[in-house]
Structure 1
Amino acid sequence: MRWEAFLAQVRERGEYASAPEAERAARVVLALLGAHLVGTERAELAACLPETFELILLNPLPAVEPLDPERFVRATAAWIEGATEETAKWDVGAVLSVVADAAGEDLMRRVLLQLPPDYDLLFGRPRRV
């Protein structure tokens, strides 16, 4: 996916007033996500993203412990100036839903297997029962 297309989708879904706002959210969310993924899935997911975001996803050190979805949102809020947990939830959903679209169903299924339960909701992909 190209940079402009990725950011345009994040901006639209997040209803951001500017591209820099969308980019800021994408950088934070992808860095946090990258710390929670390993192996082939992380590399394959990164390859679906524009180069700058690919590097952001690949570069973080692994998380010491996995964050459940609620803590992931709180961590996002802590890294985005002026964010609250509510606005961070919006940021996470905007970015991760675009990532999920870029990745496709098979890769997303494998990515979600690496993450704690209920991350499917953050990606806008509720698991079917």
Structure 2
Amino acid sequence: MQFHEFLGQVQNRAKLDSPDAAMLATRATLNTLAERLSGNEPANLAAQLPGEIGNHLKTGTAGKGERFNVDDFIARVSKREGVPENQATHHAQVVMGVLNEAVSTGEMADVQGQLPEDYALLFRREWA
């Protein structure tokens, strides 16, 4: 999936008013995901994405495997994106859905394998 296609899908599904808003939602979600994943998983995931998207998985704390639950994940996305938590939840679900389509099934299985069960909330298709 190409950069503009990824952002276009996020913008369309989340009903955002601009590509900049889609980028903000994507960056907030992927920065937070990078903090939660451990080892090389953020880099492995980034390798399957367009550079402009994958770079958001290469934060200073990427791969540290910081332990926090899905509520804390949403709170971090909300703060980074500057939106209420209900919107952050929806945006994170959309980003994760597009991510799921952009990378291999095996890579997404690796990502989900590192997340506790409560993170299933992020993989619901709320935009459909």
Instruction: Give the number of aligned pairs.
Output: 124
TM-score under structure 2 length normalisation: 0.85
Runs (4 or more) in structure 1 with deviation over 4 Å come to none
Q: State the distance in 1 between where 2:120 and 2:106 align.
A: 13
Q: Give the drift of 1:23.
A: 0.6
Structure 1 residue runs without a partner (length 5+) = none
User: 1:102 aligns to what?
Assistant: 102
Gaps of 5+ in 2: none
Query: What residue number does 1:54 align with?
Result: 54
1:32 correspondence with 2:32: yes
Q: Percent identity?
A: 32
Q: Counterparts in 2 of 1:1-129, with a 5 A limit? A: 1-62=1-62, 65-81=66-82, 83-124=83-124
Deviates more, 1:10-19 or 1:96-105: 96-105
Q: 1:124 to 1:60 in 2, by over 3 A?
A: farther
SS of corresponding position for 2:117: coil
What is the CA RMSD across the aligned residues, in angstroms? 1.8
